[in-house]
Amino acid sequence: MEKLLSAMEFRILGALDVIKDDRPLPVRSGKQQALLALLLCQAGRVVHSDVLVDSLWGQEAGDQGVKRLRLHLHRLRRTLGAADAIVHRVQGYTLDIPSVALDARRFETLAHQGRQALASGSVAQASELLHAALSLWRGPALSGLEDLPLLHQEATRLNEERLSALGDCMDADLRLRRHADLIGRLSVLVDEHPLQERFRGQLMLALYRTGRQAEALEVYRAGRHILARDLGLEPGAELRRLELAILTSDASLAVCAPRTVHARRRRTRCPRC
């Protein structure tokens, strides 16, 4: 069974996909898709039978809920071609797959490694790891299955993790002096997430460092207007400090070289790098 599962890949960073021997494995039934997604979101952990029944049928399950669940589990095992992958425990079921077989787990591992590298000053390595993590995404997590509360909760968590990794990736690339290359992508992120001040500040910095000071200040003013109109708030303290630094051409905004292991012992890092 282990060898069989090693040839399978499960994807939830986008629409649910199963890849077996480098080919898509259709999971056509909506209930089977939802059941597989519920098990994948808790891969390696037991999901109580009552939770599965309630998620799939709610009050419509009636007295036949457990029977229905067993039938769909049987069909799902047959679809996957791995009868032992879904293991019955005392209180429920668990999907027993290697962590590398699930794209969400690979994403979390790479993103964590990228953040660690960024914190330690290994900026190029951090950028590479974070780009690799983000490349696993094909769309919003669990796309098409978010109507189930438990899947909606997990999709929200994963999508927020993606935004956090995107912010870390932009930080790494800014420290690698890729300002001009980032402007287009950051502009899209600011349009998609107008209340995310981290992306707005990164776009302001990228514009300023490419000689576009007026445009950087306009990005700030637009964000301030959106916050006041939609939430009745002012920008956060960090974004206000960045605006002031841009207005005064503060030397702390100057581009500085990425740190290396040896350079960290001799130099103080620019606060905006």
Does 112 have pLDDT greater than 90?
A: yes
The pLDDT value recorded for residue 72 is 93
* Average pLDDT of the residues in 34-57: 94
pLDDT band at 61 (very low <50, low <70, confident <90, very high): confident
- Measured distance CA(77)–CA(1) in Å, rounded: 12
Q: Which helix (H) or strand (E) holds 10?
A: strand 8-11
Does 115 have pLDDT greater than 80?
A: yes
The sign of the dihedral angle between the CA atoms of 123, 129, 135, 136 is: negative
The pLDDT value recorded for residue 213 is 96
Does 87 have pLDDT greater than 50?
A: yes
**141-190 pLDDT tens trace:** 999 998 899 999 999 999 999 999 999 999 999 999 999 999 999 999 99
The model's pTM: 0.87
In the chain, the percentage of residues whose pLDDT exceeds 70 is 91
Name which residue leads in pLDDT, 2 or 51.
Answer: 51
**Per-residue buried b or exposed e for 4-43, using 16+ beta carbons within 10 Å of the residue's own CB:** ebeebbbbbbbebbbebeeeeeebeeeebbbbbbbbbbbb
pLDDT band at 21 (very low <50, low <70, confident <90, very high): confident
In terms of Cβ atoms closer than 10 Å to its own Cβ (0-12, 13-18, 19+), residue 97 is: buried
In Å, how far are 13, 201, 220 from 189, measured between CA atoms? 18, 11, 14
Mean pLDDT of the chain: 90
Contact 245, 213 (CB under 8 A): no
Does 85 have pLDDT greater than 60?
A: yes
Contact 200, 219 (CB under 8 A): yes
Here the tokens at position 260 are 């290396």
Here the tokens at position 75 are 């069909």
Closest CA to 58 of 192, 149, 170: 149
Using DSSP's 3-state secondary structure scheme, residue 7 falls into coil
* Average pLDDT of the residues in 17-40: 92
Tokens 């809920």 appear where?
Answer: 65
The pLDDT value recorded for residue 207 is 97
Does 206 have pLDDT greater than 70?
A: yes
**91-107 pLDDT tens trace:** 899 998 888 999 999 99
The pLDDT value recorded for residue 5 is 54
Closest CA to 65 of 105, 86, 92, 90: 92
Helices (H), the chain: 2-6, 30-41, 49-57, 65-80, 103-120, 123-134, 149-175, 179-192, 197-209, 213-231, 237-247
In terms of Cβ atoms closer than 10 Å to its own Cβ (0-12, 13-18, 19+), residue 257 is: middle
As a three-state string, the secondary structure of 138-173 is CCCCCECCCCCHHHHHHHHHHHHHHHHHHHHHHHHH
- Measured distance CA(193)–CA(182) in Å, rounded: 16
How do 86-88 and 92-95 pair as beta strands? antiparallel
